[in-house]
Structure 1
């Protein structure tokens, strides 16, 4: 009987440990009112009004200089956007979407005879088989998987994101 009790306690302990490793975190701090990405510095800031809540090193598109102009150019967009969707099943661990392209992005791409592209996200790095250093995305903003868990919990749909040169 005592052996069974010990085994049951071990099973419960292992089960609770597994629950603690969820990629879905909770956040109860100050609201993130905006996000700033400083491309030249490879930094992302989560802000509550003027106060920095979190700061992250980021990777960008593999061709980071300048504003994204068309699909496949490897650039990360510049300008003011809004977080408009979430993907809990992203191939890059977790991701939050940015409402690129804006109407002016579509108009410019059409003018040069190209597609503006889309699917620009802040995301983690898992399942990326390439180098996890430097700029390697196709225009997205990447942080580590562990950092993305915090970002995913803190940023809500409708949050403004300023992507600066």
Structure 2
């Protein structure tokens, strides 16, 4: 094998590996830092902001019982209030996911006082890995977008980003 052919193979291997690391060959996000996520449940919209500027807008799907704040495990509601993105999960049961810090201390106490569990495992995620895309409000309380959109959001949003969820 000639040196030139070997060099070409090394470059092609690097390009392939880089594509695997960054999701199908997409480049890492290089735009303005996302400092805030706003979710407007009634409008089924999610906004990614940098400071006060809206960088991206997404149509969303919510829990199967979306009106009102999440209070208890299994209520099918999406939380309302201020939280933070806790972590990224590349091996989610849905196509990628970003953890949301629900429940807070007050929500845990309120559920406990009612003799119930507050629930948890609330995420922004894509569509189910084992089934096709779903329409309407179908999650157990999460915020769902298309798989292409979660790939973009996953690159743009870092753990620690504030997320405000409005009715």
* 1:122, distance to aligned residue in structure 2 (A): 0.2
Structure 2 equivalent of residue 74 of structure 1: 76
From 105, 110, 113, the counterpart of 1:111: 113
Task: Using the TM superposition, name which of 93-102 and 21-30 deviates more.
Answer: 21-30
| 8 Å CA contact 1:25, 1:150 repeated in 2 | no
Output the TM-score relative to the length of structure 1.
Answer: 0.86
Contact 1:37 1:44 (C-alpha < 8 Å) held by counterparts: yes
CA-based RMSD of the aligned residues comes to: 2.3
Give every structure 1 segment of 4 or more consecutive aligned residues whose post-TM-superposition deviation is greater than 6 Å. Answer: none
Per-residue CA deviation, residues 98-153 of structure 1 (Å, 9 max, x unaligned), is: 00000011011001110011100000003253761110000000001110011001
1:128–1:137 Cα change, 3 Å: farther
Aligned residues: 158
Q: Measure, in 2, the Cα distance between the counterparts of 1:122 and 1:16.
A: 29
TM-score, normalised to structure 2, is: 0.85
Aligned in 2, Cα 1:88/1:143: closer, same or farther, shift over 3 Å?
A: same
Q: Following TM superposition, by how much is the alpha carbon of 1:18 offset from its aligned partner in structure 2, in angstroms? A: 8.7
